[in-house]
Amino acid sequence: MQLISCYIAEAVMAIPDRAGRTTVPTGTVRAGTVRAGTVRAGTVRAGTVVAGTVVAGTIGLAAASWAVAAWLMGGMDMGVATRPGSVWFFAVAWATMMAAMMLPGAAPAVARYAVAYGKVRAALPFVGLYLAIWALTGFVAYPLDRPHGTLAAGAVVIAAGAYELTPVKRYFRWRCREYPSSGLRFGLCCVGSSIGLMAMLVALDVMSLFWMSAVAVLAGAQKLLPAKGAVDIPLALALIGLGLVIVFAPSLIPGLAPSMM
């Protein structure tokens, strides 16, 4: 409940209109109006109701997706030797995983979009397009998700860490945090921001709940928190360090490679 309250507060603190402009309350509340602002108290209350409903629905869908993903992935976790199964099974599993991993961090953006239009149902096409973009990335991941060695896995993790330090990453992360004009654009920007982390997931074990959870936490935090070099640089270096460990001492990472490899 506390997490949902924080999401609602972030969504309603600055209520955008349909053009993306924001009106932030800056004065003292007097008899239902906000001095030096144009947002009436009634509008704020209505926005809070819309945001709360949308955030609760988004988090609920994410929670259900986690349960379905865990069921679909049962018994398939074999580290770098994991086989993806048929293309259709992988597509369903991937789409479910993306909903589970990417919706929590997107909840404030979805709520802001719905508040701007004043309708809960405005969130439906936004979420649909956002998840469609992530689902389509599965058709890129599928041919790459084949059994491989720890050397290849480590190299991908090192590349993912290096990507965190690039201007491209910073640009897409910034775009992923600004006011969302559509689910399509928001999805494309968030894919650009998290593409390195998703490549890391595919390399380490796309059917692992542990790695799925770790990537979900990182991707979600980067959507919700502003970029800070004091945090982002150590994170990138930590990923590069993890990649080096996988290359030179893979046995230190439990479950990464089956015992026969």
Residue-averaged pLDDT of the chain: 85
Using a cut of 0.75, tell me whether the model's pTM lies above it. Answer: yes
- Tens digit of pLDDT for each residue in 178-227? 878 899 999 999 999 999 999 999 999 999 999 999 999 999 999 999 88
CA distance 109 to 258: 40
Report the alpha-carbon angle 153-154-157, nearest 5: 90
Amino acid at 139: F
* For residue 176, pLDDT beyond 90: no
CA distance 119 to 133: 23
- Residues 156-165 have a mean pLDDT of 97
pLDDT for 59 equals 96
**What is the end-to-end Cα distance of the chain in Å, rounded?**
45
* For residue 17, pLDDT beyond 50: no
Q: Which residue has the tokens 């201007």?
A: 167
The residues spanned by each domain of the chain are 2-22+35-252
pLDDT for 39 equals 45
